[in-house]
Amino acid sequence: MTHAGASDPGLNQSPPFVDIDLFGSDRPLRDAVIANGARDDIDALGQLGRHWGRADMAELARLADIHVPRLEGDIVIYHPAYHRFMAESMAAGLHNLTWTNAGAAAGPPSEVARAARFYMVAQVENGHMCPVTMTRAAVAALGASPDLLVRVMPKIQTRTYDPAFRSWTGKSAITLGMGMTERQGGSDVRTNTTRAHRDGDIYRIDGDKWFMSAPMSDAFLVLAQAAGGLTCFFMPRFRPDGGVNGLHLLKLKDKLGNRSNASAEVEFRNAYAIRVGEEGRGIRTILQMVQLTRLDCAISSAGIMRAALARAVHHARHRAVFQRKLIDQPVMRNVLADLALDAEAALAAVMRLCRSFDLAATDALEAARARVLTPVIKYWVCKTAPAFVYEAMECLGGNGYVEDYALARLYREAPVNAIWEGSGNVMALDLLRAMRSGEDIHHVIRALADEANDCPGAAEEIGRIERLLASSDLEIHARRLIESLALIAATAALRNSGSGIAAIFSQSRLNGGIGCRNYGAAPLAAVASQVLERALPD
Ligand SMILES: Cc1cc2nc3c(=O)[nH]c(=O)nc-3n(C[C@H](O)[C@H](O)[C@H](O)COP(=O)(O)OP(=O)(O)OC[C@H]3O[C@@H](n4cnc5c(N)ncnc54)[C@H](O)[C@@H]3O)c2cc1C
């Protein structure tokens, strides 16, 4: 079992961190949920938090991680723990809440409600969340082919999980994957060489993909070059005549983390596919889908940070060194409070961004916020997580480095969200692209400035952003710009959740802040109790 066996509280070891109420023990989450319009969901979130925080779920996560999927012919065999997580997440609606709640009322908080669930699940097991997020996001691209969407949707709207290897048309529930990345280019999908040939109403596809995760999905959205240019296709595992489609799994990648999830190198030979959207409009067709997967990367990284922080605080409350509990040692207290500030800021930022997604259909400013701030928040939260988890791991000393505890797995997991769905530079460039394509970034910045205006350093940071925007060579400053915007967006989001944390965060981060790259340098002694009690009640 996770964090058991070797640990004996009688020997100055912290007790196992299991049977946790993931919602009830997380005050920042509760505040963010309420601030972003999902108050009515609190009871359901509490139930989910208690369920996913159970000791047996932690044990299943450990098993899913060590019993990695294996390839047998064109079939991937997963450990039962992986299937259990798929069934649990689909029962909770993580793959479809966006689509089943939409339109229920004016501005339904479906993204916020889903994000709160996704964030808690990310604290337990991350690998299975890849097909869950791809399934929900693929719906956005399928919107370009309404006839196909109508056929697919009933099988996504259910909350069951059906892992059987047979045609999607005969199944009660399906999952969807994505095949974009090729050997010669992932960020630059225009270099795709996979070819699509028209054959009456359908297409035949030949080529390969260098990464295609969750290869047992029932169908994939695939980019390929058709006569009219790069085009999006729906490629099922089975042809309509019932035969297995020409989609062959060559190899499963041996990955640093995300090990319960399979990621394959694949080959297409005369593979049957249906076009999604127009020929030559492939990138446009997948744009909204990619926004959603990027949002999920940020939510998931916020969850990983939370999981690491909670374990670090828990350990420090129980472990004594030099006759004092770690949590009472001034240096450690500073480190933990500093970590807690970033964890709460990351959560507040992603939840406020989800609110923008909820309101985008009826509010132009919120739509602009969603477009501009998705790469910003994805960049900042996902890139903050690895260093954050490393510091939290160190709080546990040697135990942090050992696989009996969750920190080692979280550490291996943390970098992937920054790499896939648009790596750091690509996010910084995507922000510039959003500006060039007419998004009113100044309007968004003015809104953020208003929301953060009385926080220390906010006015100076906004001034810095305006100067960067006026620069003649913006690309050189793209990372500086995206970092500054993220810090302002996080400050504004913390103000929005009304916790009193915003000013503490901005003081140590905005306008150069304390100026140190590692955690623990900000002078937080006066506020540490407030910050840590919010993070995890004693
Ligand atoms: C575990 C895992 C699972 C994956 N699953 C899938 C999947 O299911 N489907 C799928 O399609 N793909 C998948 N991918 C691929 C992933 O999306 C790509 O690896 C990612 O988009 C980066 O592409 P690349 O590897 O080709 O790197 P490159 O595009 O070569 O990028 C390398 C580096 O260059 C930077 N860079 C790129 N362009 C610029 C520029 N103009 N200026 C400055 N810097 C730049 C990037 O930020 C990056 O740091 C997966 C990857 C991983 C690790």
Q: What is the pLDDT of residues 442-478, one digit of tens each?
A: 999 999 999 998 999 999 999 999 999 999 999 999 9
- pLDDT, tens only, 44-58: 999 999 999 999 999
CA angle at 287 for the pair 284 and 291, rounded to the nearest 5°: 170
- Among 158, 271, 178, smallest CA distance to 221 is for 178
Closest Cα to atom 33 of ligand 1: 423
Q: What is the mean pLDDT of residues 318-326?
A: 96
- d(C-alpha 446, C-alpha 93), whole Å: 36
State mean pLDDT over 505-532. Answer: 92
pLDDT at 104: 41
What are the pLDDT digits (tens) for 259-302? 999 999 999 999 999 999 999 999 999 999 999 999 999 999 99
Ligand 1 near 420 CB (within 6 A): yes
How far, in Å, are 38, 413, 498, 517 from residue 534 at the CA level? 20, 25, 13, 24
Pairwise CA distance, residues 406 & 306, whole Å: 12
Q: Which letter does DSSP use for residue 427 in this model? A: H
Confidence check: pLDDT of 170 > 70: yes
Alpha carbon distances (Å) from 106 to 35, 102, 361, 367, 457: 17, 9, 10, 15, 36
**In the block, which residue shows the tokens 């406020």?**
352
* Mean pLDDT on 132-152: 97
With the most atoms of ligand 1 within 8 angstroms of its CB, the residue from 211, 289, 290 to mutate is 211
* Structure confidence at residue 514 (pLDDT): 81
**29 touches 41 (CB < 8 A):** no
Q: Render pLDDT for 71-125 as a digit per residue (tens, 0 to 9).
A: 999 999 999 999 999 999 999 999 999 887 644 444 456 999 999 999 999 999 9
Q: Whose CA is nearest to atom 20 of ligand 1?
A: 420
Q: How many Cβ atoms sit within 10 Å of the Cβ of residue 463?
A: 12
Rounded to 5 degrees, φ, ψ at 233 are -130, 155
Res 179: pLDDT: 98
Whether 67 shows a pLDDT value over 90: the answer reads yes
Identity at 286, one-letter amino acid code = I
Q: What is the pLDDT of residues 378-420, one digit of tens each?
A: 999 999 999 999 999 999 999 999 999 999 999 999 999 999 9
Mean pLDDT (whole number) for 311-320: 97
Per-residue pLDDT tens over the stretch 349-373: 999 999 999 999 999 999 999 999 9
In whole numbers, what is the pLDDT of the chain averaged over residues?
A: 95
418 lines ligand 1 (CB under 6 A): no
Question: Mutation test of ligand 1: which of 176, 286, 419 has the most ligand atoms closer than 8 Å to its C-beta?
Answer: 419
Residue 426 pLDDT greater than 70, yes or no = yes
Q: Give the separation between CA 462 and CA 466, rounded to whole angstroms.
A: 6
Above 70 in pLDDT, residue 201? yes
User: Is 508 close to ligand 1, i.e. is its CB under 6 Å away?
Assistant: no
pLDDT single digits (tens) 21-46: 999 999 999 999 999 999 999 999 99
Is the CB of 133 within 6 Å of ligand 1?
no
The answer to whether residue 2 scores a pLDDT higher than 50 is no
| 291 or 1, higher pLDDT | 291
C-alpha–C-alpha distance, residues 413 and 401, integer Å: 14
Question: Does residue 5 carry a pLDDT above 60?
Answer: no
Mutate to test the pocket of ligand 1, among 184, 216, 249, 423 (most ligand atoms within 8 A of CB): 423
Query: Could you report the per-residue pLDDT of 233-259, keeping only the tens digit for each?
Result: 999 999 999 999 999 999 999 999 999
Are 266 and 250 contacting, i.e. CB atoms less than 8 angstroms apart?
yes
Q: Does 3 have pLDDT greater than 60?
A: no
418 alpha carbon – ligand 1 mean position (Å): 10
The predicted structure's pLDDT at residue 105: 41
Q: Please say whether the beta carbons of 212 and 268 come within 8 A.
A: no
Q: What confidence tens digit (pLDDT) does each residue in 494-508 have?
A: 999 888 899 999 999
